[in-house]
């Protein structure tokens, strides 16, 4: 962890910026599991131009981590070295830009995009309402819900590199598969144009309500979690494999496999990141031993051990 004097020097060198810079920021305040140690420093940009200036002012070798709503992320108890970017509320572009196209910034919640599109009489984005994260995170991992996947809608993306330079990228610049996206190295998504279809606004809004009701009925939405912990293996469902091992309700410290949905691990209120990670590894071992299937994590685990 950096000393306060070093943080002060960094802050002074960025005195012209309009965003919020903090040091030793507890990541438990920025993750849906409500766990995670402190980041050396966090920056919440005012807008895209402000973020460009901030990145340009960083040392070239400064580690940078982006955290949207922290809904697919486990930050270890020792925290994160380097700088964390918090785009939620800053990179908030959301507008219709052409016939059937919607432009969304990386800091916009996926559910907000779904509602915006539906009100505009555009369809195919309703499933985004079931993704509890930002568009930046959804782009990075090809997040999906209710049979839909983010990159099925993507026409183009805008990215930002470590020097603060913007790049325009086509859909074909990336290789996309289930929960995996690869393309230009050392660039972060800051916006996307989504290609949608004209349709019935009322029907689209009704579908969103139906999907959210289904989500509430089948997932532990009232408890801190990260959403689905594991990817579904080919031809099967992670939740079914976990449940068949009798692991619903399995608990380590303050972390428990949800009784409502076996592919969710919930924080009962006192969990540490170590509790959650230990339970994840335990579930993996049990499924491997019982079914000879290796469950691969959908959640990202980052940071230092305490």
Catalytic residue numbers read 179, 228, 298
Q: Is 233 helix (H, G, I), strand (E, B) or coil?
A: coil
CA–CA gap between residue 276 and residue 222 (Å, rounded)? 18
Calculate ∠ Cα 196-197-201, nearest 5°.
Answer: 105
DSSP 10-61: HHHHTTT--SEEEEEEEGGGSSTT----EEEEEEE-SSHHHHHHHHHHS-TT
Q: Which residue has the tokens 């019982």?
A: 290
CA–CA gap between residue 101 and residue 299 (Å, rounded)? 30
DSSP 179-192: TEEE-STTEEEEEE
**Pairing, β 154-161 against β 197-198:** unpaired
Q: Across the chain, where does the E strand assignment appear?
A: 20-26, 38-44, 64-66, 73-75, 80-85, 94-98, 101-105, 122-123, 144-145, 148-149, 154-161, 166-170, 175-177, 180-182, 187-195, 197-198, 251-252, 255-257, 265-267, 300-302
C-beta neighbour count of 245 within 10 angstroms:
19
**Pairing, β 300-302 against β 73-75:** parallel
């Amino acid at each position: 962890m950096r000393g306060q004097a070093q943080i002060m020097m960094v802050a002074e060198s960025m005195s012209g910026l309009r965003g919020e810079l903090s040091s030793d920021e507890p990541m438990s305040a920025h993750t849906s599991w409500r766990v995670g140690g402190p980041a050396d420093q966090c920056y919440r940009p005012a807008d895209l131009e402000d973020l460009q200036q901030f990145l340009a002012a960083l040392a070239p070798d400064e580690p940078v981590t982006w955290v949207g709503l922290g809904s697919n992320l486990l930050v270890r108890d020792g925290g994160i070295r380097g700088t964390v970017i918090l785009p939620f509320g800053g990179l908030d572009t959301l507008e219709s830009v052409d016939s059937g196209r919607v432009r969304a910034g990386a800091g916009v919640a996926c559910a907000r995009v779904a509602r915006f599109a539906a009100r505009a009489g555009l369809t195919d984005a309703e499933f985004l309402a079931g993704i509890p994260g930002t568009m930046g995170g959804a782009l990075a991992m090809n997040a999906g819900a209710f049979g839909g996947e983010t990159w099925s809608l993507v026409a183009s993306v805008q990215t930002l590199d470590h020097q603060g330079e913007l790049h325009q990228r086509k859909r074909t610049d990336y290789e996309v598969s289930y929960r995996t996206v690869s393309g230009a190295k050392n660039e972060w998504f800051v916006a996307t144009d989504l290609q949608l279809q004209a349709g019935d606004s009322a029907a689209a809004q009704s579908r969103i309500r139906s999907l959210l009701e289904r989500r509430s009925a089948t997932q532990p939405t009232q408890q801190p979690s990260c959403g689905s912990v594991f990817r579904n293996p080919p031809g099967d469902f992670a939740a079914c494999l976990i449940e068949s091992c009798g692991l619903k309700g399995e608990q380590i410290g303050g972390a428990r496999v949800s009784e409502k949905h076996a592919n969710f691990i919930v924080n009962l209120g006192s969990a540490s990141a170590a509790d959650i990670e230990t339970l994840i590894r335990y579930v993996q071992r049990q499924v491997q031993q019982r079914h000879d299937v290796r469950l691969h994590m959908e959640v990202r685990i980052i940071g230092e051990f305490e």
